[in-house]
Amino acid sequence: MNVFNFHLTNSCNYNCTYCFGKFPEKKDLPLKEACSVVDNIARYFSKNGIKDGRINLAGGEPLLYLHLDDLIEYIYAYGLKASIITNGSMLTEERISHWKDKVYCIGLSLDSAIPETNLTIGRSCKNKAPTVKQAVRITQAIHRNGIKLKINTVVSKLNVNEDMAEFYKRLKPDRLKFLQVEIIDGINDGAEKLAITKKAFDEFCKRHNKCCNETICEKSESLENSYLMINPQGEFQLNDSGKYKTYGSCLEEDLSEILSRVPISSDKFNSRYGKESKREVLTKKICIFGGHATWIKGLKESFVNARFFKDGDLHSIDVIRNAEEIWIQSNAISHSFYGKVVDAARANKVPVRYFEYAGILKCIEQVKFKKSS
């Protein structure tokens, strides 16, 4: 996993009805502790040989985080990519210029080119909605400083029929992402009335898919189990089937250990980040015995030459004889079948190794580095 979204603050000068970037009762971290979160992410990247790691700074509105510029400097000192997702209302040309060479990408959340629609959405401050002129001025400054520009548009009943093609073409984004409005249990329940059908979302995407060379369309379920999120208190959260779940604190535990128990979908992650995500595919001929259906599905995405066997599912010893390694997950495997597999492997001098974790990512790492024997 090479992209982590660090939500620095709950504070925002907008009040978008369907915002999912809310973390009730989570206060902003002091700079020292925020840097500790960055340390943890950097260790994870280094440990896993990830050379294109990126930390995406989000909110709330990240420009309201008091230590934003210091944190960007800290990320830059590591040699990591920093990106920012902002509503753009507080961006200035001077600040953008200051971020030159330090910020890889600025993502602007722009849901409409019509002021009245933005007011209805809640994308406004003191009853003032952003204008096209302001957006053009800011995006020109981003381009001028050599920073990549991404535009995120949440599509709901309020803007699904709007034609934003000319607006996008004026802004010239490097990447354009459409997100079908997602309802998160306990976060934006009041936005249920703004939900749209997949067909309506597809039609919006079709109308705008030529507005940028790289266009990503994310249906509501695409965010589930794929958006790697650290909240303002440094806790790792995941949208697991439409509800935020917390898996541990990045201030107290190594990120690799936290991720070992997080149900991340590699396919969805790769779809979200496109060319950025470079998942390693292992071609080693291995046989894997045991484990539950979801776990097996997750491993299949990375092990192209692996064969998987459920309890009792071994019709020929030849599959063991021809394998380079045997890996055993003790979950969902009987003692008698375990004994049969191990005896066959030993008789044919095939190494037997054991998974030490239940988490998919940690198990992939084990096979890659042969950490168990």
Q: What is the DSSP code string of 277-341?
A: -----B---EEEE---HHHHHHHHTTBTT-EEE-TT----THHHHT-SEEEE--TT--HHHHHHH
Q: Helix (H, G, I), strand (E, B), or coil: what is residue 230?
A: strand
What is the structure's pLDDT at 40?
96
- Give the β-pairing of 215-218 and 229-230: unpaired
Whether residues 39 and 122 share a domain: the answer is yes
pLDDT of residue 279: 44
Domain co-membership, 209 together with 298: no
What residues pair up with 151 in beta bridges, in sequence order?
108, 176
Q: Using one digit for the tens of pLDDT, what is the confidence trace for 221-275?
A: 877 888 899 999 999 999 888 889 999 999 999 999 999 999 888 777 877 676 5
Query: How much is the pLDDT for 278?
Result: 45
Q: Of 242, 276, 310, at which residue does a domain stop?
A: 276
Domain membership flag for residue 30: yes
Domain membership of residue 133 as a residue range: 3-276
* Residue 313 belongs to a domain: yes
40: alpha, beta or left, given left = phi > 0 and alpha = psi -120 to 50? alpha
Summarize the confidence of residues 330-335 as an average pLDDT: 84
pTM: 0.73
Q: Say if residue 300 is in the same domain as residue 193.
A: no
Confidence of residue 367 (pLDDT cuts 50, 70, 90): confident
231 with 358, same domain: the answer is no
- The two beta strands, 286-289 and 325-328, are parallel
Q: Which of 272-281, 322-331, 359-368 has maximum average pLDDT? A: 322-331
Q: Same structural domain for residues 301 and 167? A: no
Query: Considering the domain boundaries, does residue 18 fall inside one?
Result: yes
Q: Any bridge partners for residue 57, and if so which?
A: 6, 84
In 3-state terms, what secondary structure has residue 179? strand
Last residue of a domain, one of 232, 250, 276: 276
Q: Which stretches of 131-263 are assigned E, i.e. beta strand?
A: 148-155, 175-180, 215-218, 229-230, 235-239, 244-249
pLDDT at residue 132 in the model: 95
Task: For residue 139, report the phi and psi dihedrals to the nearest 5 degrees.
Answer: -70, -30
Say which residues have a Cβ less than 8 Å from residue 285's Cβ, sequence separation at least 6. Answer: 305, 306, 322, 323, 324, 325
271 found inside a domain:
yes
3-state secondary structure of 132: helix
Q: What's residue 141's pLDDT?
A: 97
Same structural domain for residues 42 and 121? yes
Q: Residue 321 above 80 pLDDT? A: yes
- Rounded mean pLDDT of the chain? 89
Q: Are residues 91 and 235 in the same domain?
A: yes
Burial of 239 (0-12, 13-18, 19+ CB in 10 A): buried
* DSSP character string of 89-103: TT--HHHHHHTTTT-
- Count the domains in the chain: 2
Residue 7 lies in a domain: yes
Following CA atoms 8, 11, 16, 17 in sequence, which dihedral angle do they give, to the nearest 10 degrees? 100
Q: Are 26 and 140 contained in the same domain?
A: yes
Q: Comparing 76-80, 206-210, 282-286, 287-291, which segment has the lowest mean pLDDT?
A: 282-286
89-134 confidence digits (pLDDT tens): 999 999 999 999 899 999 999 999 999 999 999 999 999 999 999 9
Residues 6+ apart with CB under 8 A from 41: 4, 6, 53, 55, 80, 250, 255
Whether pLDDT at 373 is above 60: no
Question: Looking at the DSSP assignment, which residues form a beta bridge with residue 86?
Answer: 108
Q: What average pLDDT does the segment 53-63 reach? A: 96
Q: What is the pLDDT of residue 236?
A: 96
More confidently predicted of 154 and 356: 154
* Angstrom distance (rounded) from CA 97 to CA 100: 5
Q: Looking at the domain assignment, is residue 258 inside a domain?
A: yes
| Shared domain check, 264 and 306 | no
Report the pLDDT value the prediction gives residue 51, as an integer from 0 to 100.
81
pLDDT at residue 304 greater than cutoff 50: yes
Task: Indicate whether 259 and 294 sit together in one domain.
Answer: no
pLDDT value, residue 312: 83
Task: Evaluate whether 238 touches 229 at the Cβ level (below 8 Å).
Answer: yes
Q: CA–CA distance from 82 to each of 99, 122, 214, 361 (Å)?
A: 10, 28, 20, 24
Other beta carbons less than 10 A from residue 187's beta carbon: 20
Return the CATH number at 221: 3.20.20.70
Q: Is residue 146 part of a domain?
A: yes
Tally of helices (H runs) and strands (E runs) in the chain: 13, 14
Tell me, what's the pLDDT at 183?
86
Last residue of a domain, which of 247, 276, 305?
Answer: 276
CATH of the domain at 357: 3.40.50
Q: Give the residue-averaged pLDDT of 333-349.
A: 91
Same domain, 247 and 107: yes
Contacts of 33 (CB under 8 A, 6+ apart): 234, 251
pLDDT, residue 45, reads 92
The answer as to whether 281 is a domain residue is: no
Tokens (6 digits) for 182: 């997602």
Choose between 210 and 277: higher pLDDT: 210
**Model confidence pLDDT, tens digit, residues 126-178:** 999 999 999 999 999 999 999 999 999 999 999 999 999 999 999 999 999 99
CA-to-CA distance for 173 and 169, rounded, in angstroms? 8
| pLDDT score at 203 | 96
Domain shared by 245 and 107, yes or no = yes
Q: Is the dihedral of CA 112, 115, 118, 123 positive or negative?
A: positive
The answer to whether 192 and 18 have CB atoms below 8 angstroms apart is: no
